[in-house]
Structure 1
Amino acid sequence: MKVKNSILLFLCVLFISSCGKSFDSQEEMTAFITDEDNGYQYKKTVNGVDYTLQYRPTDLLVKQELSDKYTDKQVEDLRKQYGKYIYFNLSMSKNNQELLNGLARDKERFGQMVNDLAFGMEEKVHLFTPKKDTLAMADFIYPRMYGMTDATTLMIVYPRDEKFMQEEYLNFTIEDLGLDTGEIKFKVKTSELKDEPQLRF
């Protein structure tokens, strides 16, 4: 009887672990989502420009908001707050540098790209269904790093619209930013967004 119970317990644990991906630390989760095989990160290189699109799970944003001491209710409230949206980090680099580094000598192109990155990404980046229904961007954040990093990185935020989440995948596109790349397109599987990894708080 004990053997049967042990086997049953093992199968239950195996089933639960296969259904939901949960991690004890932010570092473990980050390692998981940066593995392209897991469906949370996508990469392309076009005309020497490296693009990386990474889904940012809700719990990573919750973790940033929590102090050293927190309650279960605070975690629950923050999950509800951040769970209304889906978040992507979009990184772009050329020669392992921020995009602006290569344009420093061309004042006109430099100024145009600064303007696009700081104010115009809702017109350059799009998320839509296979039927071309477009999800309106809720916000985007572009922190100027002034050459301190090896890529230009933005956080792109969209509402977690259940109608869009029912699709098998969503198309994430980036228009040409003046780098002769043409439009860059990623197919994002919604199954991974709905079954996103969590942290064990």
Structure 2
Amino acid sequence: MSANAGISLLIITVLCFFSCSTKSFNTKEEMWGYLKNKDNGYLQSKNINGYDFSLIYKPTDLLVEQELGEDRSKQKIKELRDKYKNQIYFTLSMSRNNKELLSTTPKNRQEFGAMVNQLAFGMREKVHVFTQQKDTLELLDYNYPRMYGMSQSTTMLFVYPRDESYLKEETLNFTIQDLGTYTGEVKFKIETDKIKKEPNLKLN
């Protein structure tokens, strides 16, 4: 092998090491900054018919940090990581003119009540994650916190099982059916590599 070829191989190896290694952050603020930078592939957004949709993957350690109290021992951190590591988490935000859906979409009290019911109890029928082979992931849970017009968006957390069989695929599809917004189906493609190499926090 020539000297130039050897140097090229070394450069490629070093670049691969830094691009393929897991990112680690000292604080949740640093991690959120990284996640919200679209160049890093964890945040996607679309504007359709005046509505803003954004989807962000939420790494395990953010949930661990959220639940950690004064006990930040290695044992407690491991306990919480074990609690959350078998699921994957997505935060979906939807808004219009920087306001919640309930503040902008319903035209009357009846439509308002129907949308409240849809958001609180009916999102299993509206939001789907599936593989390239059209296998649908089971929605384990979702959380819709009522903000009563005090937030700039309707934000929900969706929880799915972490299964190595579907993580072998390059992408997953995340779709939101029309919620009365006349946006049609909204679709995001998620790179599974981002999930497998999700960033972590230096928690102790």
The TM-score with structure 2 as length reference comes to: 0.89
Q: CA deviation at 1:69?
A: 3.3
What residue is the counterpart of 1:58 in the other structure? 60
Name which of 29, 40, 43 aligns with 2:42.
Answer: 40
Deviation digits for residues 118-160 of structure 1 (CA, Å, limit 9, x no counterpart): 0011110000001100001000000000011100000000011
What residue is the counterpart of 1:4 in the other structure? none
Name which of 75, 78, 94 aligns with 2:77.
Answer: 75
Q: How does 1:92-131 map to 2 (within 5 A)?
A: 92-103=94-105, 105-131=107-133
What residue is the counterpart of 2:178 in the other structure? 176
Q: How does 1:6-45 map to 2 (within 5 A)?
A: 15=17, 19-45=21-47
For the pair 1:144 / 2:124, whether they are aligned, the reply is: no
The ranges of structure 1 where at least 4 consecutive aligned residues each deviate by more than 6 angstroms after the TM superposition are none
What residue is the counterpart of 2:190 in the other structure? 188
Provide the C-alpha distance between the structure 2 equivalents of 1:60 and 1:173, rounded to a whole number of angstroms. Answer: 24
Question: Contact conserved, 2:46 with 2:53, CA < 8 A, in 1?
Answer: yes
Deviation digits for residues 49-106 of structure 1 (CA, Å, limit 9, x no counterpart): 0000010000000001111332111111111110110001000000110000014541
Larger CA deviation: 18-27 vs 190-199: 18-27
Structure 1: state its 5+ residue gaps: 1-10
1:134 partner SS: coil
Q: CA deviation at 1:17?
A: 8.0
Letter in 2 for 1:184: V
Structure 2: state its 5+ residue gaps: 1-12
Provide the C-alpha distance between the structure 1 equivalents of 2:19 and 2:166, rounded to a whole number of angstroms. Answer: 27
Provide the C-alpha distance between the structure 2 equivalents of 1:193 and 1:104, rounded to a whole number of angstroms. Answer: 35
Task: Say what the alpha-carbon RMSD is for the aligned residues.
Answer: 1.7
Provide the C-alpha distance between the structure 1 equivalents of 2:164 and 2:71, rounded to a whole number of angstroms. Answer: 33
Q: How many residues align?
A: 190
The TM-score with structure 1 as length reference comes to: 0.90
